[in-house]
């Protein structure tokens, strides 16, 4: 029960402040028709309840499995199994990530269907998957995170030179939204699971940096998508 | 009043079902190959999936019927104002409050306090982050109003970040880049983004695709820079303590 109260509060805290700012704007500067505003408030209600249910579901059923999978994987002691399933999990979780869905449907909308939602989601999922796989490698081989970050962003700026300009903002945004309410806890649980089995307790700090790496992947993959489309 | 609350809900549910299916299949494979969980655990997982399905459907429905249309309309009103400069302070307020209350940020801030052994108080980092993101969103407004390319912000931002990495302790680097994504909560990616594309559609010469997006990227940069700055301040303090021999025990913090 405690857990549920916490989730409810969490969701309220992340939704209410902006709702208040928007309400103030509505009645000072904007004055959109009441109908539109009521529709917005219903939207807030739906989003709030939806997020609460979603997070409870993630906590009850999805996260525990993430951790179990993390440690079960490592016990197989097979490098390719760990990396393959790290990749699969990263990709599959991203496909279900709410923020990614919203961003991609907005891009689909704004581009008038030129950049279809399903293509974009697949690209983002591939990107996250590959970088979660890389992050597993990093934990196993103790590669310094700075190298991966520098290499990743270096590559981003290199590829961006060949990408049509309207893909650039989209790709960076994709990198930001991947780290939503499902991916972050999931990827962290997986990483901590792997790190703990491989290197014992002291490894917990290896869990840091996973999320940062995971958000490089989609930037790269959407940029590459742009190169292909352009 | 003419409200469309459940318009397209069937389609949304279908979309969510497709979104969750791959995860469910992967779990099933795992269950049969590696885990072989007891029935009770399985039941929990099924309940979890059902809740996640219902929640995600409602969430997306709310975004489609409420956030996106209203955000866009609001954006077009704001973009059409004769005193457009007002967008810049509005951006700051939105950014500031979005972060200030964000639960994910609260977790991160607590973590940083722990890692720094209390040297970086939660409140200090929270205000630094909120102000940082506030500035990011108002800079995004500036970008939108005057049509600067995203590059002029992103390239210097990351160059500065990578220079700072050299001087900040290693743990801070990880936390900094992790927190980049944390700051973009459910409101930023949905409502604020719709508002930006709405504004872009109203200002002449702006392409919603080119200028409307990119805000999330700017928001993600702010925490990276703020956390690294605090990291550098922290390591300098550690060094001066080490030099004076006051706290030799903590010296391991600056091995990187």
Q: Enter the ipTM.
A: 0.91
The set of long-range contacts for B147-155, using a CB threshold of 8 Å and a minimum separation of 24, is: B147/B203, B147/B205, B147/B206, B147/B211, B149/A165, B150/A168, B150/A169, B150/A172, B150/B214, B150/B217, B150/B218, B151/A168, B153/B218, B153/B221, B154/A172, B154/B217, B154/B218, B154/B221, B155/A157
DSSP B250: G
DSSP B244: T
How many domains does chain B divide into?
Answer: 2
- Same domain? For B102 and B11 the reply is no
**Distance of residue B215 Cα from the nearest chain A Cα, in angstroms:** 7
Contact between residue A167 and residue A223 where contact means Cβ atoms under 8 Å apart: yes
| Sign of the CA dihedral running A210, A212, A213, A216 | positive
Residues of B in contact with A36 (CB under 8 A): 69-70, 73
Confidence of residue A146 (pLDDT cuts 50, 70, 90): confident
Confidence of residue A143 (pLDDT cuts 50, 70, 90): confident
Helix (H, G, I), strand (E, B) or coil at B7: coil
**Distance of residue B120 Cα from the nearest chain A Cα, in angstroms:** 18
Q: Where are the domains of chain A?
A: 1-61, 76-229
Q: Which of B18, B51, B107, B212 to mutate to test the interface with A (most CBs of A within 10 A)?
A: B51
Are A43 and B4 in contact (CB < 8 Å)?
A: no
End position of a domain, from candidates B44, B79, B114? B79
Are A107 and B209 in contact (CB < 8 Å)?
A: yes
Please check whether residue B35 lies inside any domain of the structure.
yes
Three-class SS string for chain A? CHHHHHHHHHHHHHHHHHHHHHHHHHHHHHCCCHHHHHHHHHHHHHHHHHHHHHHHHHHHHHHHHHHHHHHHHHHCCCHHHHHHHHHHHHHHHHHHCHHHHHHHHHHHHHCCCCCCHHHHHHHHHHHHHHHHHHHHHHHHHCCCHHHHHHHHHHHHHHHHCCCCCCHHHHHHHHHHHCCCCCHHHHHHHHHHHHHHHHHCHHHHHHHCCHHHHHCHHHHHHHHHHHHHHC
- Same domain? For B25 and B144 the reply is no
Chain B CA closest to residue A211:
B178
Between A159 and A197, the higher pLDDT residue: A159
* Minimum-distance CB partner of A95 among B22, B62, B181: B22
DSSP B80: T
**Distance of residue A66 Cα from the nearest chain B Cα, in angstroms:** 9
Contact between residue B187 and residue A99 where contact means Cβ atoms under 8 Å apart: no
The two tokens of residue A103 are 């961003």
Please check whether residue B23 lies inside any domain of the structure.
yes
Q: Which of A169, A188, A219 to mutate to test the interface with B (most CBs of B within 10 A)?
A: A169
Between B106 and A112, the higher pLDDT residue: A112
What is the average pLDDT score of chain A?
A: 87
Residues of B in contact with A209 (CB under 8 A): 173-174, 177-178
- Same domain? For B35 and B110 the reply is no
Contact between residue B164 and residue B229 where contact means Cβ atoms under 8 Å apart: yes
- What pLDDT does B255 receive? 43
Are B59 and A54 in contact (CB < 8 Å)?
A: yes
Chain A CA closest to residue B94:
A18
- What pLDDT does B236 receive? 83
- Rounded to a whole number of angstroms, the distance between the first and last alpha carbons of chain B is 63
B92-121 pLDDT, tens digit per residue, is 999 998 888 777 788 778 877 877 778 778
Residue B53, chain A, CB below 8 Å: the answer is: yes
- What pLDDT does B18 receive? 93
pLDDT averaged over consecutive 10-residue blocks of chain B (256 residues)?
82 93 89 82 91 94 92 92 92 89 78 77 87 93 92 93 90 81 75 91 89 90 88 82 55 43
Distance CA A175, CA B189 (A): 11
Contact between residue A70 and residue A140 where contact means Cβ atoms under 8 Å apart: no
- Same domain? For B107 and B205 the reply is yes
- Same domain? For B239 and B113 the reply is yes
- Same domain? For B62 and B51 the reply is yes
**Distance of residue A212 Cα from the nearest chain B Cα, in angstroms:** 4
- Same domain? For B228 and B122 the reply is yes
The Cβ of residue B160 has, within 10 Å, a number of other Cβ atoms equal to 15
- Same domain? For B119 and B219 the reply is yes
A3-24 pLDDT, tens digit per residue, is 889 889 988 988 898 899 999 9
Are A32 and B73 in contact (CB < 8 Å)?
A: yes
Residues of B in contact with A39 (CB under 8 A): 3-4, 65-66, 69-70
End position of a domain, from candidates B61, B79, B97? B79
A173-194 pLDDT, tens digit per residue, is 999 888 888 888 888 778 777 7
**Distance of residue B244 Cα from the nearest chain A Cα, in angstroms:** 29
Distance CA A215, CA A207 (A): 15
Please check whether residue B254 lies inside any domain of the structure.
no
Helix (H, G, I), strand (E, B) or coil at B91: helix
- What pLDDT does B1 receive? 63
- Same domain? For B69 and B126 the reply is no
Touching A: B residues 152-181, CB under 8 Å: 154-155, 158, 162, 165, 170-171, 173-178, 180-181
For residue A168, the number of C-alpha atoms closer than 13 Å in the C-beta half-sphere is: 20
- Rounded to a whole number of angstroms, the distance between the first and last alpha carbons of chain A is 52
Residue B144, chain A, CB below 8 Å: the answer is: no
Distance CA A193, CA A136 (A): 11
Residues of B in contact with A66 (CB under 8 A): none
The set of long-range contacts for A106-115, using a CB threshold of 8 Å and a minimum separation of 24, is: A106/B68, A106/B193, A106/B194, A106/B197, A107/A170, A107/B209, A107/B213, A109/B68, A110/B197, A110/B208, A110/B209, A110/B212, A110/B213, A111/B209, A115/A170, A115/A229
- Same domain? For B140 and B18 the reply is no
Touching A: B residues 5-34, CB under 8 Å: 5, 15, 19-20, 22-23, 26-27, 30, 34
Residues of A in contact with B228 (CB under 8 A): none
Are A92 and B209 in contact (CB < 8 Å)?
A: no
Please check whether residue B2 lies inside any domain of the structure.
no
End position of a domain, from candidates B28, B56, B79? B79
Please check whether residue B256 lies inside any domain of the structure.
no
Contact between residue B104 and residue B92 where contact means Cβ atoms under 8 Å apart: no
Residue among A177, A181, A178, A179 nearest A54 (CA): A181
Kindly list the distances between the CA atom of residue B12 and the CA atoms of A50, A101, A122, B53, in Å, as whole numbers in the listed order: 13, 11, 18, 11
Helix (H, G, I), strand (E, B) or coil at B130: helix
Please check whether residue B255 lies inside any domain of the structure.
no
Are B220 and A15 in contact (CB < 8 Å)?
A: no
Are B66 and A69 in contact (CB < 8 Å)?
A: no
Distance CA B26, CA B51 (A): 18
| Domain that includes residue B19, residue range | 7-79
Residues of B in contact with A195 (CB under 8 A): none
Residues of A in contact with B15 (CB under 8 A): 101
- Same domain? For B149 and B213 the reply is yes
Chain A CA closest to residue B22:
A92
Give me the phi and psi of B102, to 5 degrees please.
-65, 120
- What pLDDT does B88 receive? 95
Please check whether residue B192 lies inside any domain of the structure.
yes
Are A103 and B56 in contact (CB < 8 Å)?
A: no
Please check whether residue B183 lies inside any domain of the structure.
yes
Lowest mean pLDDT, pick from A26-30, A171-175, A199-203, B68-72: A199-203
């Amino acid at each position: 029960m405690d857990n549920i109260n916490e989730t409810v509060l969490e969701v309220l805290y992340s939704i209410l402040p902006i709702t208040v700012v928007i309400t103030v704007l509505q009645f000072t500067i904007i004055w959109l028709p009441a109908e539109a505003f009521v529709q917005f408030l219903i939207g807030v209600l739906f989003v709030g309840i939806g997020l609460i249910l979603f997070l409870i579901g993630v906590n009850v059923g999805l996260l525990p499995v993430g951790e179990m999978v993390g440690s079960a994987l490592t016990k197989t002691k097979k490098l390719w199994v760990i990396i393959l399933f790290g990749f699969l999990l990263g990709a599959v979780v991203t496909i279900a990530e709410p923020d990614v869905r919203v961003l991609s449907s907005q891009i689909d909308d704004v581009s008038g269907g030129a950049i279809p939602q399903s293509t974009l989601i697949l690209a983002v999922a591939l990107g996250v998957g590959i970088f979660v796989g890389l992050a597993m490698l990093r934990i196993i081989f103790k590669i310094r995170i700075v190298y991966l970050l520098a290499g990743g962003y270096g590559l981003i700026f290199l590829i961006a030179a060949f990408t049509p300009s309207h893909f650039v903002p989209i790709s960076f945004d994709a990198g930001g939204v991947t780290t939503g309410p499902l991916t972050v806890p999931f990827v962290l649980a997986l990483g901590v699971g792997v790190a703990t089995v491989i290197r014992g307790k002291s490894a917990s700090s290896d869990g840091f940096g996973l999320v940062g790496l995971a958000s490089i992947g989609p930037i790269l993959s959407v940029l590459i998508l742009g190169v292909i489309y352009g | 009043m003419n409200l469309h609350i459940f318009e397209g809900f069937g389609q949304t549910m279908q979309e969510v079902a497709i979104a969750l299916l791959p995860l469910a299949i992967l779990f099933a494979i795992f269950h049969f190959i590696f885990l072989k969980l007891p029935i009770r655990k399985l039941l929990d997982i099924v309940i979890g999936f059902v809740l996640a399905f219902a929640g995600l459907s409602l969430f997306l429905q709310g975004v489609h019927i409420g956030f996106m249309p209203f955000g866009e309309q609001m954006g077009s009103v704001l973009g059409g104002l004769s005193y457009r400069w007002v967008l810049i302070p509005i951006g700051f307020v939105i950014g500031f409050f979005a972060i200030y209350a964000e639960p994910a940020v609260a977790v991160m801030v607590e973590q940083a306090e722990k890692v720094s052994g209390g040297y970086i108080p939660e409140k200090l980092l929270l205000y630094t982050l909120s102000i940082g993101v506030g500035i990011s969103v108002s800079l995004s407004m500036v970008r939108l109003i005057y049509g600067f390319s995203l590059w002029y912000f992103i390239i210097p931002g990351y160059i500065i970040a990578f220079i700072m990495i050299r001087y900040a302790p290693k743990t801070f680097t990880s936390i900094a880049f992790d927190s980049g994504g944390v700051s973009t909560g459910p409101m930023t990616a949905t409502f604020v983004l719709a508002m930006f594309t709405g504004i872009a559609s109203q200002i002449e010469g702006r392409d919603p695709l080119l200028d409307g997006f990119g805000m999330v990227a700017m928001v993600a940069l702010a925490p990276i820079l703020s956390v690294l700055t605090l990291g550098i301040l922290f390591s300098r303090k550690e060094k001066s303590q080490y030099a004076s021999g006051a706290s030799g025990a903590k010296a391991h913090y600056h091995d990187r």
